[in-house]
Structure 1
């Protein structure tokens, strides 16, 4: 796995980070938030109100990965 993501998709506070491990892709989903010190942090926990953006990010990640795989064949 590379140190840099292959691609990122962001919708609101939700981010899908796509990693390329020699043509085998994986996706990390996270939600950004500010802590008590007003610093930006990330979590893998989601609220009910986040779920539509989680689903949209997952769909867009799948489309992006499919295009990468199709372009290699």
Structure 2
């Protein structure tokens, strides 16, 4: 994986982080929360109330990747 994400999609506490691995894109989904000390953390676990935003983030990530792959293909043609 590259060191910096190619793109991020955020909806509420849910984030889809998109990585470009030499033209192959992958996505990490996570939920942000504050720990007992008040520091922000992230987890790959979701509560029932998170699932709609998680699915919307995944859908938006898929759309971004599809557009990016089209853009990549036209730049290399």
Per the normalisation by structure 2, the TM-score is 0.93
Aligned to 2:70: 70
| Shift in Å, 1:66 | 0.1
Question: In structure 2, how many angstroms separate the alpha carbons of the residues matched to 1:61 and 1:32?
Answer: 18
Question: In structure 1, how many angstroms separate the alpha carbons of the residues matched to 2:39 and 2:50?
Answer: 20
| Shift in Å, 1:43 | 0.2
Matched positions, count: 73
Give 3-state SS (helix, strand or coil) of 2:19's partner. Answer: strand
Per the normalisation by structure 1, the TM-score is 0.98
Aligned to 1:14: 14
Structure 1: 5+ residue stretches without partners = none
Aligned to 2:45: 45
Structure of larger gyration radius: 2
| Shift in Å, 1:10 | 0.3
Aligned to 2:59: 59
